[in-house]
Amino acid sequence: MDFALTAGDLEFRDEVRAFLRDNLPPEMAKLGAMGFQPDREASLGWQKILSQRPGWSVPMWPKEHGGPGWTVMQRYLFEEECFAAGAPTCNLQGTELVGPVIYSFGNDEQKQRFLPGIRNGKDYWCQGFSEPNAGSDLANLRTKAIRDGDHYVVNGQKIWTSQAQWADWLFLLVRTDPEAQAQRGISFLLVDMKTPGITVRPIVSIDGSTHLTETFYDDVRVPVTNLVGEENKGWGYTKFLLGNERAFSGASIPTIKRYLQRIKRVATAQELDGKPLLQDAGFAYRLAQLEVEVLALEMSVLRVIHEDSGTSTGGWAIGSVLKVRGTELQQRCCDLLAEALGTYAAAFYPDPYEHRGQNIALPGPDYAPGVMAELMYRRAASIFGGSAEIQHNIIAKMILGM
Ligand SMILES: Cc1cc2nc3c(=O)[nH]c(=O)nc-3n(C[C@H](O)[C@H](O)[C@H](O)COP(=O)(O)OP(=O)(O)OC[C@H]3O[C@@H](n4cnc5c(N)ncnc54)[C@H](O)[C@@H]3O)c2cc1C
C-alpha cells in the first residue's frame, strides 16, 4: 500500500500550515503546547478563528451542514498540523459529539437553532452520560425524565461531566421508560445549562485542574422540542456518538508525535554525566523503540484511512484497536518525558488557564511546566471514551469472534 501524500494532499497541508502561521496567536500556541487542558476561552477562541474559513472549525462535518467536506486524509493532516503548531483543542463535545448527532437525527428546527453556534464557537457544550453506577455499563443510567405537558421534568445525577461549569448547553441521556428493557427506555435531550434546578460541583483531578464535575438535576424542566429524534430511541443515537468518539482520533497520532518532539527537546537540554541526555545510549534506545512503535501505529491508522474504516477488516471495531494501542503509547511517551525532565517533574506548576493574567514565578526551564499535568491527564485516556478493558471486550467479540 502506498502511503505517499498526493500532490493535492501536500498542497492542502501547505495551506493549513500557512493558515496556522498567520492566525494562531503565539500566546495561545505557547499554552496549547504545554500540556494543560484548554479552558473555555482557549477552545472557543480557537474555534472562532478557525471558523473564518468555511467549515474549518468542524472538520468532520459534511458540506451540506457547514463542514469543509474534507477527505479522511485531509482531516488527519489538519489535526496533525494543528497539534504540531500547539493549537488548543476545540470544544469537541460540540464539534465532534453532539453536532453530528443533531445533523444526523435532529429535526430542521434543531439544526437551524444549534448547528451555527457550534460551528462559529459561540456555544460551549458538555456531555451528561456517565452516572455513579453507569459508566462502562451506560445503559444502567437512572436519571429520569417524566413528561409534563410540553416539558420533560428531569431528576437525577451525572458524574465526570467534563467542563460543565463553562458550558452553555448539555446533551443529556435520560430514562423516559423505566419499564422497558435498559437500552429501549432512554432518550437524548438538549438542555440549556441556565435552566433552574441544575447544580454543577467541580471535581479537582490529579492533574491539578478542575475540568471534571458532578452535575445534579432537581425538577429541571426541558422543553419537549429539545428531544433529539424519538422518545426512547436515544440509545441508537448514543451508539452513533460513541462510535465517532472512538474512531480515528482514538489513536491520537498527532498528540503522540507532539510528545515525541517534546521528549527530544527536553532530552537535548537536560544533561546526564555532562552530556545531553539524548546522547545517553540507554535513553536513546528507549526513545528509538517508542518511535518505531509509534510509526507502526501510524501505518495502521493510514491503512484504515486508505481502506476507509467502514469497510476494513473488523469494521468499526478497528477503532477500539487503535484506541487501546494509541492510549498505551500516549502513556509511555508521557512517562519517558517526565523521566527526561528529572527533578523538575517533582515541582508543582499551577494550571496557567486557571491563573490567567497572573504573573506567577515558575521554577526551572521553560519546557518543564505542563509535563506532569499531561502525564496525569493521560492516565485517564485509557478510561474516557470507553475503558481499555471494554475495548478489549469489543475486539474479542467483533474481531476475534470470541
Ligand atoms: C477525564 C475523564 C473525562 C470524562 N468525561 C466525561 C464526560 O464529559 N461525560 C460523561 O458522561 N462521562 C465522562 N467520563 C466518564 C467515562 O466515560 C467513564 O469513566 C468510563 O466510561 C468508565 O466508567 P466508570 O468510571 O463508571 O468505571 P466502571 O465502568 O465502574 O469501570 C471500573 C473498572 O472496571 C472495568 N470494567 C467495567 N466493566 C467491565 C467489563 N464488562 N469487562 C471488563 N472490565 C470491566 C473498567 O474497565 C474499569 O477498569 C470521563 C472520564 C474521565 C476519566
What pLDDT was estimated at residue 254? 92
Residue 309 Cβ contacting ligand 1 at under 6 Å:
no
* Cα separation, 187 vs 152, whole angstroms: 11
Q: Is the pLDDT of residue 111 over 50?
A: yes
- Closest Cα to residue 330, out of 374, 394, 364? 374
Tell me the pLDDT of the chain averaged across its residues: 93
Helix axes 318-341 and 234-246, enclosed angle (nearest 10): 50
181 three-state secondary structure: coil
Q: What is the 3-state secondary structure (H, E, C) of 11-77?
A: HHHHHHHHHHHHHCCHHHHHHHHHCCCCCHHHHHHHHHHHCCCCCCCCCCCCHHHCCCCCCHHHHHH
Retrieve residue 118's grid coordinates. 457550534
* Cα separation, 312 vs 113, whole angstroms: 36
Helix (H) or strand (E) holding 151: strand 151-159
How remote is the CA of residue 94 from the centroid of ligand 1, in Å?
21
**Ligand 1 site-directed mutation target among 92, 97, 124, 130, most atoms within 8 Å of CB:** 130
Residues of the chain with CATH 1.20.140.10: 247-398
Residue 157 Cβ contacting ligand 1 at under 6 Å:
no
245 as an active site residue: the answer is yes
* Cα separation, 73 vs 81, whole angstroms: 12
pLDDT in tens, 183-216: 999 999 999 999 999 999 999 988 778 899 999 9
pLDDT in tens, 269-299: 999 999 999 999 999 999 999 999 999 999 9
User: What are the helix and strand counts (H, E) for the chain?
Assistant: 13, 9
pLDDT confidence tier of residue 245, bands split at 50, 70 and 90:
confident
Q: Where are the beta strands (DSSP E) in 268-330?
A: 271-272, 275-276
Q: Is the pLDDT of residue 318 over 80?
A: yes
How remote is the CA of residue 392 from the centroid of ligand 1, in Å?
14
Residues of the chain with CATH 2.40.110.10: 125-232
Residue type, 196: P
Retrieve residue 274's grid coordinates. 555532562
Q: Output b/e per residue, 155-171; b: 16+ Cβ within 10 A.
A: bbbbbbbbbbbbbbbbb
* Cα separation, 343 vs 197, whole angstroms: 47
How remote is the CA of residue 384 from the centroid of ligand 1, in Å?
6
DSSP 2: -
Q: Is the pLDDT of residue 309 over 60?
A: no
Nearest ligand 1 atom to the CA of 164 is 8
**Ligand 1 site-directed mutation target among 137, 217, 323, 383, most atoms within 8 Å of CB:** 383
- pTM summary value: 0.94
- Closest Cα to residue 319, out of 235, 398, 378, 374? 398
Q: Is the pLDDT of residue 248 over 80?
A: no
pLDDT confidence tier of residue 89, bands split at 50, 70 and 90:
very high
Nearest alpha carbon, ligand 1 atom 51: 384
Residue 389 Cβ contacting ligand 1 at under 6 Å:
yes
Instruction: Determine which one of 245, 291, 354, 389 is catalytic.
Output: 245
Instruction: Name the CATH superfamily, with its identifier, for domain 125-232.
Output: Butyryl-CoA Dehydrogenase, subunit A, domain 2 (2.40.110.10)
Instruction: Name the CATH superfamily, with its identifier, for domain 247-398.
Output: Butyryl-CoA Dehydrogenase, subunit A, domain 3 (1.20.140.10)
What pLDDT was estimated at residue 310? 46
C-alpha distances in Å from residue 48, one per residue of 24, 56, 57, 157, 394: 11, 10, 7, 32, 37
Nearest ligand 1 atom to the CA of 134 is 26
pLDDT in tens, 26-80: 999 999 999 899 999 999 999 999 999 999 999 999 999 999 999 989 999 999 9
What pLDDT was estimated at residue 151? 98
Cα atoms found within 13 Å of the Cα of residue 361, Cβ hemisphere only: 1
Question: Cβ(29)–Cβ(23) under 8 Å?
Answer: no
- Alpha carbon of residue 358 to chain centroid: 28
